[in-house]
Amino acid sequence: MTAPERRPVVAALYREALPLRLTEVEELAEVRLTKADGLAEALDGADVLYQWHSFSPALRENWGAASSLQWVHATAAGVSQLMFDELVASDITYTNSRGVLSRAIAEFALGFVLDMAKDAQGSFRLQQQQRWQHRVTRKIHGQSVLVVGTGSIGRETARLFRAVGMDVDGAARAGRPGDCDFGRIHSSADLVEVVHGYDYLVLAAPLTADTRGLVNADVLAAMKPSAHLINVGRGELVSTGALTEALASGSIAGAALDVVHPEPLPAGHALWNMDNVIITPHMSGDSEDYLDDLGKLFVDNLKRYCSGQPLENVVDKALGFVPASEPSLAT
């Protein structure tokens, strides 16, 4: 990317709280703070759109005012829902916040595994009843995991799971036998054929045309009856109806869902009241300092933009995510 000849203009889109590290942004650029209803005016002559309100559809709605935009940055890793035909066809560079939340999400996924293996929910229910009821629980050491999605989140998850003695494979667009973080990587198109071999199926993939509804009734039916599903990716990776049926029938043992479809899950939905289901409100990446980390990533990339250096986390707009050259097994 060529360095701008003048001080760049950044339209910073927010909803309620202002972006963190705003002073550092203002040292590098002219900043126009705006909410969605003022975006058209803020985009007039702007070089950069900083989507602190990461999932706002306001750019699509005000696309006609974006004639001078060169770069859009979103404070989210999954940006498929923000893509639209005109943006994809444009020369605008799009970056996301890949990597910032990966460790926190991996820790959350491990927490889900421990919660289910040690029956923490059951213990809490017994505690509420003031019942002292001894049980045995499962070890996670030696248990097998298939992580769908081998990007930043999936790899961090694999490393953490391996550190506690779990056997971890991956699933991605293309399969291969050896990898430094996964024992092997299957093609995600082959889930029905391979999923029966795993105790945990962990979803950490971006939402794309290929992954939407990836875990359907056939995949769920092919899982072990003792297996658990964990979703820290996107709710639409899973057929909610098929999952509800599989959990109710005992076709799979349980599920831990940080994301669902639809989101939020409607009141009265059957998943809310199932003892073998854990539901959290799309919070797995939101650790105490994550907002500051998101702000720092943008500041670092803005410095690159101002000096003409290549930007980090450039999204392939046709794919909807940042493509990565995934490392192979070290020899």
Q: Which residues face 145 on adjacent strands?
A: 168, 200
Q: Cα separation of 278 and 322, whole Å?
A: 30
**pLDDT-derived band of residue 319, with 50, 70 and 90 as boundaries?**
confident
pLDDT at 78: 84
Give the Cβ contact number of residue 233 at 10 Å.
Answer: 30
Do 208 and 146 lie in a common domain?
A: yes
Do 58 and 155 lie in a common domain?
A: no
Do 247 and 114 lie in a common domain?
A: yes
> Does residue 113 fall inside a structural domain?
yes
Q: What is the DSSP string of 3-25?
A: PPSS--EEEEE-SSSPPTTHHHH
Structural domain for 70, as ranges? 9-100+288-307
> Does residue 327 fall inside a structural domain?
no
Do 87 and 107 lie in a common domain?
A: no
Q: For residue range 67-82, list pLDDT tens digits in order.
A: 999 999 999 888 888 8
**Res. 328: pLDDT tops 70:** no
> Does residue 1 fall inside a structural domain?
no
Do 151 and 57 lie in a common domain?
A: no
pTM beyond 0.85, yes or no: yes
**pLDDT-derived band of residue 330, with 50, 70 and 90 as boundaries?**
very low
**Res. 326: pLDDT tops 50:** no
Do 121 and 219 lie in a common domain?
A: yes
Say which amino acid occupies 208.
Answer: T
What value, to the nearest 5°, has the Cα angle with vertex 230 and ends 125 and 316?
A: 150
For the chain, percent of residues with pLDDT exceeding 90? 89
> Does residue 313 fall inside a structural domain?
no
Q: Cα separation of 227 and 207, whole Å?
A: 23
Do 154 and 228 lie in a common domain?
A: yes
Do 95 and 108 lie in a common domain?
A: no
Last residue of a domain, which of 239, 260, 279?
A: 279
Q: For residue range 77-132, list pLDDT tens digits in order.
A: 888 888 999 999 999 999 999 999 999 999 999 999 999 999 999 999 999 999 99
Q: What is the mean pLDDT of the chain?
A: 94
**pLDDT-derived band of residue 2, with 50, 70 and 90 as boundaries?**
confident
Do 181 and 263 lie in a common domain?
A: yes
Q: Cα separation of 278 and 316, whole Å?
A: 33
Q: For residue range 15-66, list pLDDT tens digits in order.
A: 999 999 999 999 999 999 999 999 999 999 999 999 999 889 999 999 999 9
> Does residue 155 fall inside a structural domain?
yes
Do 117 and 51 lie in a common domain?
A: no
Q: Mean pLDDT throughout 158-164?
A: 98
What's the number of domains the chain is made of?
A: 2
> Does residue 121 fall inside a structural domain?
yes
Do 210 and 80 lie in a common domain?
A: no
> Does residue 326 fall inside a structural domain?
no
What CATH number has the domain bearing residue 136? Answer: 3.40.50.720
Do 185 and 294 lie in a common domain?
A: no
> Does residue 245 fall inside a structural domain?
yes
Closest CA to 117 of 144, 92, 137: 137
